[in-house]
Structure 1
Amino acid sequence: MKILLATVFDYPHPGGLSTHVTTLKAGLEARGHIVDILSISDIPKSTQTLKARGPSFILNKVAKGKGIIWSRKARKKMLQRLIEANKHKDYDIVNAQDVYATFASLDAGLPTVSTVHGYMAFEAVSAGSVLENSPEAKYLQEKEIEAFQKTRKVITVDQRIKDYVLKQAGVEGNAIRNFINIDDFKPDTTKKQEYRSKHQVNQDDKVFFVPRRLTKKNGVIYPILSFPKVLEKYPNAKLIYAGSGEALEDMKKLIAEKNLENSIQLLGPIPHQQIKEFFALSNVVLVPSIHSAGVEEATSISALEAMGSGVPLIACAVGGLKEIVHHNEDGLLVEERNVGELSEAMIELLDNPEKGNQLAMNAREKIEAEYSHVAAAEKYEQIYLSALK
């Protein structure tokens, strides 16, 4: 088949959706399909600013939420034109990766299936882009429902989102949990010293790595709150974040308040391939997600990548994380927002590196058996075929 993956967001960009698209493309191509990607990044920046970002900024001054709606509509129109300009490539199907990419593909007249990665309206509220219970939040929710009902097939990245689609729109989706390229993310700890030298990390530091977009639902402030207790026992512990987002300034203030500037490093967004190097140089990976405005973590790609990379994982027991991590078998689960419990788990894995190594080995075995990108691509292929009947 000739398959187009489409999104109104930037591609590539740091974040789970972009990683999903890259990995799905690799899996589908491994199965012999031709796969292209179109995104808003294929539009010149000047055009994006003129038609989407500029007006969005101004409209948000009038009423919070109006800007994001304008931006999504403008992105949809630009993506639709891109798809129409590429119709000569005779794609068999478009797999839209978000609500407005679904509308762009449908209005371009192509067979469309949609992957649902989360909850568009609730996530906008959680990020502070839209006010809760506002007309704008209601509008975004209505557009979600419309997209679910108009697309040929709905794919969700976990069971909870499948339940959400059914409840909101009466549409029975197909749950395919997120996955990773198991050939790309694999144990590489033999290069720990090399990567520490490359990234200027002391060889004897105890490194906790947080590969997370800096947004509220990802719980990124909680490792900071938990860290003073860890430092009492392990003064050479370091906390390293890779990611960007609206929580950055609050994190910086919190770090300064607690005098943790010498122990916490904020890398900002880094290339996805470089994430692998930080997994390899780390002692423990943290995925501290929380419930926020009705939003919770799906099948976290960051958690899967950590587990595939042979690094011990500590995650909060929310959403899809509870589905992929078995406590004390292939990782540790802690209660969300529980600063004391997170501190104790962090100290536990530094106190007992043998336990951490065993958890990591078990996690790698699980990833190979259950979260392969090629196996997931086969499931997507079957849904594409059923949508074309």
Structure 2
Amino acid sequence: MKILLVSQDNSEKLNIGGKHIHQNLLIAAWRKQGHEVRTIFPRPQKITMPIWTRIIFRISRTWSTFPVFFFKKYLRKIKNELIHNLHQSMTDFSPDLISAQDPMAAVACSAALQPHKGALPRIALTLHGYYTWEMINYGYYGEHNKPTIEKIGFELEREALEKANSVITVDSRIRDYLQTQHGFTEPVDVIFNAINIEPFQQPINQEVMHLQKRLAPNGEKIILIARRLVLKNGVHVAISAIALLIPLKKNIRLIVVGDGPESFNLQSQAKTLGIESYIDFIGNIDHSDIHNYYRAADILLMPSIPSDGIEEATSLSMLEGMAAGKLVICSAIGGMKEIIIHKKNGYLVKSNNPQNLSELLNDLLETPPDQLDEVCTQARQFAFDNHDYNSHARKILSKMSQN
């Protein structure tokens, strides 16, 4: 089968976020299963403003039309580039199916198909999150810009839902969002995310042991957060929880892997709380190198919070922590609460509650490791049995192909 995967995000150039990883695993699995896959991504772009505009914008944030104007220009540029490349692929590739990985991709695909005659490929839309609200949450727009950004995003979402032949979401709440926000009543398939389990099937090697020694030279328990540093991922909650543990003389170290707009605020928070010596901010690491950090850690944290209407979906960090056989702690929100069974294959805590998180961490640190082995074993087996990317790709293709 010929499959065209189209996305607003170029995962060939950037392999950090969950959506990038999902796309790359899907492509690899389909090709391994004998399908011919072509990708259409835009060139990496940023919302760019002339230097004089940036100076004015910094001086006066009330000039709200500037960021919105350039945001619209950025979206138009991506859409036009996708449409141009799609026209070429329709001629020389003739796909059987199109996998659109976001609303922008679905809208561009529909526009590109209009001039073509005969049997056209189905467009299957996959929603990895809350497209509009994530644009707001990840961006630097002032409160006065949010209604305009929301209007642009919702229009794109509605058009994508109208044009798509089938829709997949990665958790139940995103499916419900389509109904409540857009009145979408067509069938939606919920297919939880998947990971590459192969790196976690290998025995612990010297490289992992050296990493453990480097991260925790004094034998500290390693608590790992591997997230993009945006508000919804709740890293500030974890820092506050660690601050509550320090007076209890716990031998711990918080390792934060990732970067994002909250990086400066989080490092400032750690300094203000006087715990910067207990936290290492590593920055971005390519996903191909992150597995050793999971395997070196003792505890994985996903302290996500609801933000701008967003709740964490089926976190890849959660699934990879489970596959590594580690103690995984997640906020009881979104797709995570659909996967984690408390005290069976991981732990759930109240969202945005440092006290609750610190109490659970303290309990786990005080519990003999052999009494926690069963939870780690169940987590690992659950990830292996239910979230391998090869079976996941077959399931998605089956849903995409249904009329």
Distance (Å, rounded) in 1 between the aligned partners of 2:48 and 2:104: 16
Offset from partner CA, 1:209-241 (integer Å, 9 cap, x none): 001110111111111111122223345311111
Distance (Å, rounded) in 2 between the aligned partners of 1:306 and 1:56: 43
Q: More deviation in 297-306 or 228-237?
A: 228-237
Q: More deviation in 369-378 or 330-339?
A: 369-378
Q: Does 1:318 align with 2:320?
A: no
| 2:177 paired residue number | 164
Contact 2:97/2:401, CA 8 A, preserved across alignment:
no
Q: Does 1:152 align with 2:155?
A: no
Q: Does 1:53 align with 2:57?
A: no
Distance (Å, rounded) in 1 between the aligned partners of 2:201 and 2:301: 18
1:86 counterpart SS class: helix
Distance (Å, rounded) in 2 between the aligned partners of 1:114 and 1:129: 27
Offset from partner CA, 1:11-66 (integer Å, 9 cap, x none): 133111001112222332332212233322xx2x6xx46xx534799598543544
Contact 1:3/1:36, CA 8 A, preserved across alignment:
yes
Gap change, CA 1:380 and 1:21, over 3 Å in 2: same
The one of 112, 130, 134 aligned to 1:123? 134
Gap change, CA 1:22 and 1:33, over 3 Å in 2: same
> In the alignment, residue 33 of structure 1 is paired with which amino acid?
H
Distance (Å, rounded) in 1 between the aligned partners of 2:340 and 2:299: 15
2:198 counterpart SS class: coil
The one of 373, 391, 395 aligned to 1:379? 395
Structure 2 runs not aligned, ≥5 long: 58-62, 114-119
Distance (Å, rounded) in 2 between the aligned partners of 1:265 and 1:127: 23
Gap change, CA 1:187 and 1:289, over 3 Å in 2: farther
| 1:82 paired residue number | 85
Following superposition, the deviation at residue 8 of structure 1 comes to: 1.4
Contact 1:195/1:281, CA 8 A, preserved across alignment:
yes
Q: More deviation in 323-332 or 12-21?
A: 12-21
Contact 1:57/1:67, CA 8 A, preserved across alignment:
no
TM-score (norm. length: structure 1)? 0.90
Q: Does 1:227 align with 2:233?
A: no
Offset from partner CA, 1:74-125 (integer Å, 9 cap, x none): 1111122223333312322221111111122222226321100111122223
> In the alignment, residue 140 of structure 1 is paired with which amino acid?
G
Offset from partner CA, 1:324-365 (integer Å, 9 cap, x none): 000011111110111111111122222222243321110111
| 1:361 paired residue number | 377
Contact 1:238/1:264, CA 8 A, preserved across alignment:
yes
1:1-389 matches, within 5 Å, as 1-11=1-11, 12-40=14-42, 43=43, 48=45, 53-54=48-49, 58=53, 62-63=64-65, 64-87=67-90, 88-109=92-113, 111=121, 112-130=123-141, 131=143, 134-167=147-180, 168=182, 169-186=184-201, 188-189=203-204, 191=206, 192-197=208-213, 199-202=214-217, 204-352=219-367, 353-387=369-403
Distance (Å, rounded) in 1 between the aligned partners of 2:217 and 2:335: 34
Contact 2:100/2:106, CA 8 A, preserved across alignment:
yes
Following superposition, the deviation at residue 69 of structure 1 comes to: 3.1
> In the alignment, residue 48 of structure 2 is paired with which amino acid?
R
> In the alignment, residue 78 of structure 1 is paired with which amino acid?
E
Higher Cα radius of gyration: 2
> In the alignment, residue 374 of structure 2 is paired with which amino acid?
Q
2:150 counterpart SS class: helix
Distance (Å, rounded) in 1 between the aligned partners of 2:50 and 2:107: 21
1:267 counterpart SS class: strand
Contact 1:283/1:311, CA 8 A, preserved across alignment:
yes
Structure 1 runs not aligned, ≥5 long: none
> In the alignment, residue 400 of structure 2 is paired with which amino acid?
Y
Gap change, CA 1:359 and 1:187, over 3 Å in 2: farther
